Amino acid sequence: MAIQLEANLEKLRASAPLVHNITNYVVMNFTANALLAIGASPVMAHAAEEVEDMVSIAGALVVNIGTLSAQWVDAMKLAMKKASELGKPIILDPVGAGATHYRNQMLRELLETAPPTIIRGNGSEILALAGASIQTKGVDSTADSTDSIGAAQALSERFGSVVSVSGAVDVIVQGNRTGWVSNGVPLMTKVTGMGCSASAIAGAFAAICRDPFEAAVSAAAAMGVCGELAHRDAKLPGSFQIAFLDKLAEVSPAHLAELSKVKFE
C-alpha cells in the first residue's frame, strides 16, 4: 500500500486549508500555532450562533472535548451536523473518554449526531469509547495503542470511521486496513497539547486528502518525524515545545521520505 506522504505535505502547504477547531482552553494557542507552522489556517470558533457558518467555509472540522461545557457541546453538535450535511471531514478527539460519566454521555450524544471521519485518541480513550471497562487517568492513557487495536477495529466498523490510536507506535485502522507509524519520541508526552495538535493536523490532511486513512497516516507520520527532528535540538519540555513548532514549519517532503517509519497490514 502506497501513501503519498511527500505529495500530501506539498498539497497541504499549497492549499493552506482552513481547519475549524472546537477545542479546549488548555491547547488552543499551541494547536493554532501547530496548524500555522505546518501550513494550514486555523480558526477557533465555539459560539453556537456561528459554527454552522464557519463549518461551511472550512475544509475540515476538529471537535475536541478536553474542556467540556453544555454550551460547547451544543455548538459541537450543530457543527458536526452541518459538516456531515456538507460532506466535510469531521475529526473527533475524545479527550478523557472513560474518566467521568458526563464525558462519556456527551461522547455518545456527539457520535449519535454525526459519524466522525476520523477518531483520534490514546489507547485508553479508544478502549473507553468502544465500551471497554477502563478508567482513564484524567486525559492520560493507561493503555498502549497496541492494546486497543480490537477496540479501534470495532469503532471503525460501527461508525465507518478511520480510528487513529496514538502511542509509542501509532496505529491507524479502517476496515481491513491497518497502518503502523513508529516515529516520535517519549518527550512528546511531556508537552500538553501534542495529542490535540495531532488531531488538528489530521484535520488539515483530511481537508486535502480524498482518503481519510491516508490523511490519518500522513498526520501521524508528520507529527512523529517532527518530534524526532525537534529532539535533536531540545532535550527538555519547554525548549522541545518551541523546537517542535519550528520543525513543523521546516519539515520537508524529503524529511518524510527519509525518516518516516510506516508499514501496513
Given a cut of 50, whether residue 139 has pLDDT beyond it is no
18: containing domain: 5-264
Mean pLDDT along residues 141-145: 55
**Res. 143 pLDDT band, cuts 50 70 90:** low
Given a cut of 70, whether residue 118 has pLDDT beyond it is yes
Mean pLDDT along residues 73-85: 99
Given a cut of 50, whether residue 137 has pLDDT beyond it is no
- pLDDT at residue number 147: 77
- pLDDT at residue number 132: 60
The domain that holds 69 is classified in CATH as 3.40.1190.20
Beta-bridge mates of residue 174: 177
Given a cut of 60, whether residue 124 has pLDDT beyond it is yes
Given a cut of 70, whether residue 1 has pLDDT beyond it is no
Tell me the per-residue pLDDT of 195-237, one tens digit each, with 9 for 90 and over.
999 999 999 999 999 999 999 999 999 999 999 999 999 999 9
- pLDDT at residue number 144: 62
Question: What percentage of the chain reaches a pLDDT higher than 90?
Answer: 92
Per-chain mean pLDDT for the chain: 95
Tell me the per-residue pLDDT of 49-75, one tens digit each, with 9 for 90 and over.
999 999 999 999 999 999 999 999 999
Distance CA 173, CA 76 (A): 24
Strands 90-93 and 177-181: unpaired
Radius of gyration of the chain (CA): 16
Beta-bridge mates of residue 21: 44, 62
| Whole-prediction pTM | 0.94
Query: Among 82-91, 105-114, 125-134, 177-186, which stretch is predicted with the lowest mean pLDDT?
Result: 125-134
Report whether 32 contacts 203 (CB < 8 A).
no
Q: Which residue has the cell 450562533?
A: 49
Distance CA 28, CA 150 (A): 31
How many structural domains is the chain composed of? 1
Question: What percentage of the chain reaches a pLDDT higher than 70?
Answer: 94
- pLDDT at residue number 3: 83
Query: What is the longest distance spanned by two Cα atoms in the chain?
Result: 46
- pLDDT at residue number 107: 97
Given a cut of 70, whether residue 112 has pLDDT beyond it is yes
C-alpha cell at 33: 500555532
